[in-house]
Amino acid sequence: MSQLDVHQIPVLTDNYVYLARCRVSGATAVIDPAVAAPVLAEADRLGWRITHILNTHHHGDHVGGNLEIQRATGCTIVGPKADRDRIPGIDVEVDEGDSTRLGEAQAEVFFVPGHTRGHIAYWFAESDALFCGDTLFALGCGRLFEGTPQQMWNSLSKLKALPPTARVYCAHEYTQANARFALTVDGANADLKARAQDIDRLRAVGRPTVPSTLADELATNPFLRADAPDLAAQIGLAGADPVSVFAEVRARKDSF
């Protein structure tokens, strides 16, 4: 097995595209290319040869660069089986329990619907690298465009079970806004208060807040803390089940 070198590329307004390169073979994946030109240029600058695209879901700001990159490189496009009809150029369909190889590196695939009906995530255990698209954000989670609170909580629970050292390579720089909201539902959380201050300092000088670690998310992300009694009590749902707490937090975020 091999570890990955991961390079982050900011594109559009707040998207992150990732280049992930197997250290042994040099095989390189683009994760969720919103656009092609800056990705191709950065791979060229680094001297990395793109061999794969890994898509987490079908939204245009995650697949918009698929076909142009594929034409330029001949790469293989891997994406969710449940969304195969909505992934441009898909070659390989994967689902829960499958694995996909990038050279000598291997990712486990999780089916994590909620944001969309076919969303998946890629977990490279050897590199502690989780590419989770729009299911989990730093201090947030994706809107429920095509799923239910129960589905999203089930999906997040899969990710919660990963090692706390996991680095969360989410697809957007939403963290500062997410922190402002999180404080409205979990304001008694000292870890969250401290993290929000750190985020403000980073963004003040234009530095990214992504990736975070799963340990940080478990301690401070209100969507992952829907099973925490103290959070439930803070929003007036003491004793409620986690799905009900999650649904309430998500509803508040939608109108924040």
Catalytic choice (32, 58, 83, 115): 115
Catalytic choice (61, 128, 186, 216): 61
* Other Cβ atoms within 10 Å of 44 Cβ, number: 12
Contact between residue 176 and residue 204 where contact means Cβ atoms under 8 Å apart: no
Q: Catalytic residue at 52?
A: no
Catalytic choice (32, 52, 57, 58): 57
Q: Catalytic residue at 83?
A: no
Contact between residue 17 and residue 9 where contact means Cβ atoms under 8 Å apart: yes
Q: Catalytic residue at 115?
A: yes
Q: Catalytic residue at 128?
A: no
Which secondary structure element, helix H or strand E, spans residue 132, and what is its range? strand 129-133
| Length of the chain counted residue by residue | 256
Query: CA–CA separation, 240 vs 4, rounded Å?
Result: 41
Q: Catalytic residue at 119?
A: no
3-class DSSP state for residue 75? coil
Contact between residue 38 and residue 46 where contact means Cβ atoms under 8 Å apart: no
Catalytic choice (83, 172, 186, 216): 172
Q: Which amino acid is at 83?
A: D
Q: Which amino acid is at 191?
A: D
Q: Catalytic residue at 57?
A: yes
Catalytic choice (52, 58, 62, 119): 62
Catalytic choice (52, 58, 59, 119): 59
Query: CA–CA separation, 127 vs 105, rounded Å?
Result: 9
Query: CA–CA separation, 29 vs 52, rounded Å?
Result: 4
Catalytic choice (83, 128, 134, 216): 134
> 210: alpha, beta or left, given left = phi > 0 and alpha = psi -120 to 50?
beta
Q: Catalytic residue at 61?
A: yes
Residues annotated as part of the active site: 57, 59, 61-62, 115, 134, 172
